[in-house]
Amino acid sequence: MIISNEIVEKHGLKLEEYENIKKLLKRNPNLLELGIFSAMWNEHCSYKSSRIHLKKLPTHGSQVIQGPGENAGVIDIGDDDAIVFKIESHNHPSYIEPYQGAATGVGGILRDVFTMGARPIALLNSIHFGSPSHPKTKSLLNGVVSGIGGYGNCIGIPTVAGETKFNDTYNENILVNAMAVGHTKKNKIFYSKAKGINKSVVYVGSKTGRDGIHGASMASAEFDENSDEKKPTVQVGDPFTEKLLLEACLELMKDDSIIAIQDMGAAGLTSSSVEMASKGSLGVELELNKVPCREENMTPYEMMLSESQERMLIILEDNKEDHARKIFQKWDLDFVIIGRTTDTKNLTLKFKNELVGEIPIEALASKAPVYDRKWTKKKLPKSNLKLKELKKIKMEDALIKILSSPNHSNKSWITNQYDQMVMCDTLQRSGSDAAIIRIHNKDKAIAVSVDSSANYCKSHPVTGGKQIVCENWRNLISVGAKPLAITNCLNFGNPENESVMGEFAECLEGIKEACEFLNFPVVSGNVSFYNGTNKKNIFPTPVIGGVGLINNLSKPIGHNFKKLNNYIFLIGKTFGHLEQSCFLKENYSLVEGRPPEINLTNEKNNGELVLKLISENLVSSAHDISSGGLIVALSEMSIGSNLGVKIEKPKRLRNSIEYFFGEDQGRYVLEIDQKKHKQVEKILNTNNIFYENIGITQEKYFEIEDEMKTNINDLFKINHKWYKNY
């Protein structure tokens, strides 16, 4: 078959890339080889536009066992325990086919975790949709939520936390990011690096079908008016088979049978075999006629590029084949030796005893293109908000508008579709700053949270990047956890656009700066480019997933008020920053100005002091202040507990709206028992932490001096009504 320019472009390759392929091969590729290059050189697999920027992120620390480069990151939580975690995107598939796209996103991230030898203990998600009024939003929302719940519930892993946001920027390109967390022992971590010559390469799991072919390439291109035609590129998931695969892999991992193991994710058999060989500087030979297929007459091209789910590739130690086969047959899964490792450093493909493809491994991996794309720097927007010129609004009316909005309304109608308690180790679930999962049979737990802030990142990417790291840090601290490390899912538009590439580079600069300052390293992640339709790019939306450690299970706290007549302390200074705030967006449809300033020194000092107070049992409840400001944080604490507050305005208050709705960073609300408040004040003063004693908890009413007084039950109803009316 003659490879035309049209065929090259249909494979997502540029003509200059094709010329480079011919130079590396010293000949023209056949169609199978072209497809393999297409899979390995696309943005989704090669990170060709992001690699030079990702290298700048801090990835090391005393707590880090494995950083980026493996299926998932690994951190040390003491007592020979390790936590394995990662977040990934499944944006394009979820827009095309929401249920299966979201479901297979969950399945894929779970395999990344148990491939490392960890039993998954928690799932999280960050999902973003267009305007609720957009004709596609409702069906996309329901399909995605059903897919997440359907897969997680069936496989028996609790979905414990997440975020759901709505913004016009996602009207034609939704975001579905899934995060998985697992637990293992430090001496039972498995890697994907191939070792040894003539070792068995084994295919295990489900059979290969024609679903998902060119899925990775599809995820590396913008949508257009023909996006619905890409449904065949979306994989189909089977959580029940994944459960069998999980148990079979973990059983085999109990002994020393496995040399290397790799999930067949994006680009399927191609990426798994190439990545294993590349890491080990080896070659691999595959006999494709031995690949278990569920459809007739599948070609080598289809086998290598299929992204059928619930499959693994394993390299075994000598004489372990029969032992491993028995395990997988017991779990009713395919187990077939389809190849061997070689010293050729080539990917050698045979079909019915004929050589059908041969490519140097380095040509697919280390020789993949790396682009230092041009990008433009974004100036900090001018601060030009004139609050006095806006139509006056009562504080109560403004609060009601926010609490009843799609972004701030209660999301239990989503989270109730997820099994949050299966495995019986979930101590705190969705609705808190962070979920808490006990380490089974131990007196310690981890806290997990996901965060994003597209509007901040669009306004000023560097500041926005810093902000989401800091918010995740605060969320973990607010439940009494020491922040340990993060994973990130970087969702952006077309990297060939200089402004988009600038947003990416500067967001990463902000993430880098915050992570370094807070000793909060990045151990895993994913880049999702080309999120947009017909040249219209989404807002930059990096998502941060964080993990923290709680060493004593008597210490964790939630954000719901606990007791009448307790004092309410505000930690951190309030300047009244309203630009880019939800107050302006929900009440005036204004999205303008600069995001709030990030003072990393204050973030660190305030956070560490709050964690100290919690660890010494001096705090009854805590909540970080983020979107909506102080008044929304107080409302959430009241609504969740059915306890009211009586708040006094500061004597030197410049403006009530700015004080209560401002989104200044680095702040917390703490509930302090009256018997302990002097001790708390002493610690705060000794450590030079700015604080205000702003009020007290009370029965029934949410009250702010001279501004509003409303029944908590009314706020509850307001906060829970949006979806019922949708």
| Among 11, 90, 183, 623, the one annotated catalytic | 90
Could you tell me the sign of the dihedral formed by the alpha carbons of 453, 456, 461, 466, in that order? negative
- Edge-first strand listing for the sheet containing 426-428: 426-428, 435-438, 445-451, 541-550, 482-491, 522-528
Helix (H, G, I), strand (E, B) or coil at 518: helix
Cβ distance 660 to 629 under 8 Å?
Answer: yes
Place of tokens 């309410």: 568
Residue from 412, 452, 385 nearest 587 by CA: 385
Type and span of the H or E element at 33: helix 31-41
Question: Rounded to whole angstroms, how far apart are CA atoms 620 and 561?
Answer: 7
**Total H helices, total E strands in the chain:** 26, 28
Cβ distance 157 to 423 under 8 Å?
Answer: yes
| Among 11, 44, 92, 408, the one annotated catalytic | 44
Clarify whether 60 is annotated catalytic. Answer: no
Q: Residue 339: what residue type?
A: G
Cβ distance 452 to 542 under 8 Å?
Answer: yes
Residue from 286, 305, 278 nearest 362 by CA: 278
DSSP string, 190-233: ------SSSPEEEEEESPB-STTTTHHHHTTS-B-TTGGGGGGG
CA distances to 65, 330, 439, 447, 547 from 435, rounded to whole Å, are: 23, 36, 13, 5, 10
Q: Which two tokens stand for residue 594?
A: 């600069």
Clarify whether 677 is annotated catalytic. Answer: no
Q: Which two tokens stand for residue 82?
A: 């390790």
Question: Rounded to whole angstroms, how far apart are CA atoms 297 and 294?
Answer: 10
* Mode of pairing for the β-strands spanning 708-711 and 426-428: unpaired
User: How many Cβ atoms sit within 10 Å of the Cβ of residue 326?
Assistant: 12
Residues ≥6 apart with Cβ < 8 Å to 142 = 98
Question: Rounded to whole angstroms, how far apart are CA atoms 612 and 615?
Answer: 5
Cβ distance 151 to 111 under 8 Å?
Answer: no
Residues ≥6 apart with Cβ < 8 Å to 487 = 73, 85, 86, 87, 179, 522, 523, 524, 525, 544, 545, 546
Alpha helices (H) in 642-676, listed in sequence order: 656-661
Residue from 403, 377, 404, 197 nearest 280 by CA: 197
Cβ distance 131 to 176 under 8 Å?
Answer: no
DSSP string, 687-721: TT--EEEEEEEEESEEEETTTEEEEHHHHHHHHH-
User: How many Cβ atoms sit within 10 Å of the Cβ of residue 395?
Assistant: 16
User: How many Cβ atoms sit within 10 Å of the Cβ of residue 97?
Assistant: 22
- The residues assigned a catalytic role are 44, 90
